[in-house]
């Protein structure tokens, strides 16, 4: 199997397809967060992000950090004191913004990237009475990656298999010591795309992700391998994968 990353071409392609992998901000429910991802290290122990309230009413925001890992069932979050957040709770007037500063209480691991998420949760006003009888609050998260002291990069291994129903599934394993975010994956037979998986996904170090594949209409697999192409925040993806 052969795997290549091409960062420059991937950057241009991600801009073209408009994925969130390189978007400088994210908006939801009248709020904008910028940037949408943070990276800290021994050399950069403090960072920040800005949240803006574009709505017509004030809001109170609670900010908390969690250790982010991945298990067989998906993302797992554990309370942590590794991260310093200032402020942890604040009010935002309409069309105003707040800078949240992020710092480290711990030293980076020598060889392994550590992953966290910072959750921002709207606290409903005590006087609010939802029309539907159910209080709806906004909850957003910002990924935070703590780089190790030594070099870190993802290392992907790909495989195709058939499940008990005979349907094709694609598996990616990250054998490296840094995360990767994948998007817009497609499998090609010659010059023809035979299957697509556009949904983005994070893959943390040492973890794997499994996608069900739906073949394109009329696609017939008659070769011994397929070519995987796609994009990631580590560069363009290209790998030849044997068919089961």
| Closest to 22 in 3D by CA, of 240, 167, 231, 217 | 231
Q: Are residues 178 and 198 located together in one domain of the fold? A: yes
224: containing domain = 153-242
Yes or no: say if 154 and 235 are a contact pair by the CB < 8 Å rule: no
Asked whether residue 227 carries a pLDDT value surpassing 60, the answer given is: yes
**More confident: 156 or 124:** 156
Identify the pLDDT of residue 16.
Answer: 35
Give the bridge partners for 28, in sequence order: 31
Among the residue ranges 78-87, 126-135, 181-190, the one predicted with the least confidence is 126-135
| Closest to 47 in 3D by CA, of 102, 2, 111 | 102
Identify the pLDDT of residue 127.
Answer: 61
Yes or no: say if 226 and 237 are a contact pair by the CB < 8 Å rule: no
Identify the pLDDT of residue 134.
Answer: 54
Asked whether residue 28 carries a pLDDT value surpassing 80, the answer given is: no
Asked whether residue 67 carries a pLDDT value surpassing 80, the answer given is: yes
Of 114, 131, 146, which one is at a domain's C-terminal end? 146
Which tens digits make up the pLDDT trace of 186-207?
999 999 999 998 888 999 999 9
Looking at residue 165, what DSSP letter applies? T
- State the sign of the Cα–Cα–Cα–Cα dihedral 11, 17, 19, 24: positive
Q: Are residues 133 and 172 located together in one domain of the fold? A: no
Which tens digits make up the pLDDT trace of 87-130?
999 999 999 999 999 999 999 999 999 999 999 999 887 765 55
In a domain, 18, yes or no: no
| Residues in CB range of 230: below 8 A, 6 or more apart | 182, 183, 184, 185, 186, 236, 237
In a domain, 19, yes or no: no
Q: Could you check whether the bond before residue 2 is cis, i.e. omega within 30 degrees of 0?
A: no
Domain CATH number, residue 117: 2.60.40.10
Asked whether residue 11 carries a pLDDT value surpassing 70, the answer given is: no
């Amino acid at each position: 199997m052969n795997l290549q990353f091409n960062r420059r071409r991937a950057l241009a392609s991600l801009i073209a397809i408009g994925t969130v992998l390189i978007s400088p901000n994210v908006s939801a429910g009248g709020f904008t967060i910028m940037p949408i991802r943070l990276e800290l290290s021994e050399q950069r122990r403090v960072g920040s992000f800005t949240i803006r309230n574009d709505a017509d009413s004030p809001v109170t925001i609670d900010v908390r950090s969690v250790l982010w890992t991945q298990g067989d069932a998906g993302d797992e979050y554990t309370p942590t004191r590794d991260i310093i957040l200032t402020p942890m709770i604040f009010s935002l007037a309409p069309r105003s913004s707040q800078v949240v500063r992020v710092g480290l209480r711990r030293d980076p691991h020598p060889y392994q990237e550590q992953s966290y998420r910072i959750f921002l949760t709207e606290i409903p006003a005590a006087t609010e009475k939802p029309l539907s009888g159910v209080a709806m609050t906004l909850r957003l998260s910002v990924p935070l990656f703590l780089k190790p002291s030594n070099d870190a990069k993802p290392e992907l291994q790909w495989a195709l298999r058939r499940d008990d129903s005979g349907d094709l599934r694609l598996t990616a394993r990250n054998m490296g010591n840094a995360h990767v975010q994948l998007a817009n994956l497609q499998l090609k037979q010659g010059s023809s795309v035979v299957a697509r998986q556009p949904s983005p996904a994070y893959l943390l170090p040492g973890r794997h992700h499994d996608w069900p594949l739906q073949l394109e209409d009329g696609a017939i697999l008659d070769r011994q391998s397929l070519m995987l192409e796609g994009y990631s925040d580590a560069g363009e993806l290209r790998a030849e994968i044997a068919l089961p």
